[in-house]
Amino acid sequence: MKDQSERLAQKIESLCGRFNEGSQPGMCVGVVKNGQVIYKKGFGMANLEYDIPIDEFTVFHCCSMAKQFTATCVALLEEQGLLHQEQLVKDILPLQGAMWNEIKIKHLIYMTNGIFDAYDTANIICGIREDDYFTKDECWEFIQASNWLMFEPGEQWSYGNTGYFLLGEAVSKISGVSLSEFAHEHIFKPLGMEHSFLRDDRTKIIRNRAVGYSNFERLHYQDAQPFSTKGDKLSINSEKMEINGAGQLWTCLHDLILWENNFHNNRLGNKSPTFIRKLVTSGTDRNGKEIGYAYGQFVFDKGGYAHVTHGGWAGGFSSFIDRVLEEQVSVIALSNHTDLFMELEVYKEGYGLIDKIREEILVSKEEGEPKILEQQTEGKLSSSIVNKGLTFAELTEYAGVYENVLLKTAYCVSVKKDKLYLENLNRHRNALDLFFEPDIQDRFVTKNTYIPNYCVLFQRDQHDLVNQFSFSNGGQNKQERFVFYRKNDNL
């Protein structure tokens, strides 16, 4: 055991020791086996301004790792007989429209609901920056404005945040207390997770909080906006959101170790082992096919082992937990840098930092070398006719002010540098203030690295006049249904 521990420590030092070189953000790593902590250590700085190092009590925003805690709250209400998977969501929450007639609690838990992601509505439709925030009231408005489904409930699986926001709201409605209070009383308190909470107040004082950081270019990408700061490599990427359910888990390595041990000796609810099995069992689509997602956690086989895993990524933070329950092994990594998520993420096929750590404890049962996945980049949308360029007069045909009343969002489209330039009339929402170049007829595409190949699709009326546009990423989420109509008094 000592030799294994030494090898493990050496491997992690070789992978993470770089964060101790100079003053830079880093991560905290923990490994648990058979209920015992066999490794825990922080690397790098929690706060660059005051040179505060990361340790096991440093509190990170763990973003979407919150989903497993929200789902556990749901499971606890199910155990009490206060909620069940077959309930219609509209019977609990104030949701109107035909699209909600078949969406059940189980469709939210297993992400088979077909609801458009309200977080995407905020960012890539309404232009709210990732270092800004939107309120719970605005989230409700985004949900009601997306009055269509990407697919029929139960038909397929698609990752999204809206369902888990709604699950959090359902927990609050049924229990009579906030999701944050319910999680504290029924999860964090029983397990002794004294440094953990689901944040619902962005002004909350958080002791031992890590500051989130991103590379300078990630937050300073607008095409036409000058910046006075020169030579900076990093920027503070403050996490300002206060909408939980889908995110806003704040915790530390010390507390997550307690959480991991509960998967092998349940102390929640009625303390039944079947409760844990429920949390880690994959849901199915309407044809009975497993979809690889359980109660806020991915489940899949890799290296001959069954994995239960989930990560989190947002505003200056990256995090991941990967556990192999049959071997009672868990690897935890929490970071205060946005770009480290791709290193941490555990793919069904792939070989990242957590995989490299785990292999010191569990030898893969599969033959062959591990696959190293390169980060995927979106390909350019296919086009049959590519415009070589448009004249100023042709570009001016698209200029004007376009508005979506339901989203309370409007863009001014103007001509600059032989391209179209979008500018949100709400100057606090400038995430999409970008140049768009002509692509095929009535379609323009941005080459900006923040959201490359994102498109604006214009449409014309019966008189062949441009009268509306929508955004498109070439996917199947039907976001083109968010239409911005040209105003009569456009510029």
The residue whose two tokens read 């045909």 is 397
| Spatial separation of the C-alpha atoms in residues 208 and 430, rounded to whole Å | 32
- pTM metric for this prediction: 0.93
The CATH number covering residue 313 comes to 3.40.710.10
SS3 412: strand
Q: Kindly state the average pLDDT of the residues 451-479.
A: 93
In angstroms, the Cα distances linking 308 to 258, 275, 325, 348 are 16, 15, 8, 11
Confidence class for position 140, pLDDT limits 50, 70, 90: very high
The CATH number of the domain holding residue 442 is: 2.40.128.50
Q: What is the pLDDT of residues 247-261, one digit of tens each?
A: 999 999 999 999 999
CB 243 within 8 A of CB 61: no
Query: How many domains are there within the chain?
Result: 2
| Domain shared by 296 and 419, yes or no | no
The answer, yes or no, to whether residue 272 has pLDDT greater than 50, is: yes
Res. 322: pLDDT tops 90: yes
Check whether residue 307 and residue 352 sit in a common domain: yes
pLDDT of residue 232 exceeding 70, the answer is yes
Asked whether residue 110 falls in the same domain as residue 204, the answer is: yes
Same domain, 286 and 222: yes
Residue 243 lies inside a defined structural domain of this protein: yes
66-111 residue pLDDT tens: 999 999 999 999 999 999 999 999 999 999 999 999 999 999 999 9
Does residue 93 share a domain with residue 51?
Answer: yes
Of 108-112, 192-196, 240-244, 408-412, where does mean pLDDT reach its minimum? 240-244
- For the segment 290-298, the average pLDDT, to the nearest whole number, is 97
Boundaries of domain holding 412? 392-486
68 CA to centre of own chain: 13
281 or 239: which leads in pLDDT: 281
**pLDDT tens figures, 333-381:** 999 999 898 888 777 777 889 999 999 998 877 765 555 444 443 333 4
Bridge partners, residue 213, by sequence = 236, 337
Residues 170 and 301 in one domain: yes
Name the band, by pLDDT with cuts 50, 70 and 90, for residue 226.
Answer: low
Which long-range contacts (C-beta less than 8 Å, at least 24 apart) are formed by 444-450?
A: 444/398, 444/419, 444/420, 445/380, 445/381, 448/221, 448/223, 449/217, 449/221, 450/218, 450/221
| Closest to 413 in 3D by CA, of 482, 467, 473 | 467
Question: Are 331 and 256 members of one domain?
Answer: yes
Neighbours of 17 (CB within 10 A): 13
445 and 321 both lie in a single domain = no
